[in-house]
Amino acid sequence: MTSTNRIMLVDGMALLFRAFYATAMSNYFMVNSKGTPTNGVYGMLKHLFTAINHYQPTHVVCCWDMGSKTFRNDMFPDYKANRGEPPVELIPQFDLAKEAIESLNIPNVGVAGFEADDCIGTLSKEYSEHSQVFILTGDQDMLQLLKQNTTVVLLKKGYGNYAEYYEDSFYEEKGITPAQMVDLKALMGDTSDNYPGVKGIGEKTALKLLMKHQTIEGILGNLDALTKGQRSKIEEGLEMLHLSRKLARIHCEADVNCSLEDALFYIDDERMRDKFEELEFRNWRKNIIGVS
C-alpha cells in the first residue's frame, strides 16, 4: 500500500559537515557581526532547500547525533576514536543549525546513546509501512536501509547533484542486497568508523564471499570451500567479525518517534525570515531557498 505522503529524512550531521568543509578549505567561514561563523549552517540550508525543491516532500524530519558516545562505544571503545574534535569554527554551528531547522517548523530528532543513522533507520522503518521515504545523506552506510518504499539519496559534489539508490537497482549495481551491506562491512571493516572487520580481507574478497555464500553464517558454514588464507584470516578474526557486524548494523529500534502531524512540511515565512535575518544571511531568498 502506498500513500501520497513523501517523507524526507534528513541526516543533519552529514549535511552540516559537508557544507562546512566545502567552504572551510578556503577559510571562508562567513563570520557575522557577533563573531559567529555561519558557513556550515548556510550551506546546510542550501542543500536542504535544493533537495526539497527537487523531491517535493510533504513531510520533513531532521535527525542528529546527540553527543559523541553511543551504545557502539560501550561495545568497542575505539569506535570512531580516530576522529578528532570538530574545528572550533564548527562548534557553535551545531546549535545554530538546529535553531535554523526549527524556524522552518521541521522537527529536530535525536536520542542520547544513538547516532542519527539509528534515528533515521527507526523512523524510515515506521514511515515506509505507509509512505514513500527519501533519506537525504552523504553516508553510504544508509544503503542498508533500502527497501520497497525507501530511497536513499546520496549528496554528490556541489548542490543538487544526487546518487539515487533503490532496492531493485541496488542489487543489479552491487551484486548484493542492501541487507548484505551489513555483512560486507563486518568482513572488510570501516576505516572512517575505526573498526577493523577481518584483518586482511578487503572489499573485493568480501563481496566475492557474500555473492557465493550470502551471509556470514553461510561463509562460516563453508569454511572448507575457502582458500587456506581466507579461512585462517576468518578463524583468527572471528570475534572481531561478529563485533564488527553489531557495529555496522543500523539499529532500527531506537527510542525515537515523530508523528506525521509534527513532520508535515509547512514554512511560516515570518518565522523563517526572522531567523535568517538574525543569522545575517545575505541574499538568502535567492541563494538558499531558490526564489528569485
Could you identify the residue written with the cell 513532520? 263
The closest of 65, 23, 68 to 41, measured between CA atoms, is 23
Distance, C-alpha 69 to centroid of its chain: 17
pLDDT band at 29 (very low <50, low <70, confident <90, very high): confident
179-248 folds as: DNA polymerase; domain 1 (1.10.150)
3-state SS of 231-283 is HHHHHHCHHHHHHHHHHHCCCCCCCCCCCHHHHECCCCHHHHHHHHHHCCCCC
- Please answer whether residues 176 and 211 qualify as being in contact, where contact means their C-beta atoms are separated by less than 8 angstroms: yes
- Report if pTM > 0.85: yes
Alpha helices in 128-263 (DSSP H): 167-174, 180-188, 203-213, 216-220, 228-236, 238-248, 260-263
If we measure between CA atoms, which residue out of 228, 231, 226, 195 comes closest to residue 213?
226
CATH number of 6-167+256-286: 3.40.50.1010
Q: How many CB atoms lie within 10 A of CB 180?
A: 20
* Chain segment 139-191, per-residue pLDDT in tens: 999 999 999 999 999 999 888 899 999 998 899 888 899 999 999 999 999 98
- On average, the pLDDT of the chain sits at 91
pLDDT at residue 292 tops 80: no
- Domain-by-domain residue ranges, the chain? 6-167+256-286, 179-248
Distance from C-alpha of 94 to C-alpha of 17, rounded to nearest angstrom: 10
Q: Grade residue 3 by pLDDT with cuts at 50, 70 and 90.
A: low
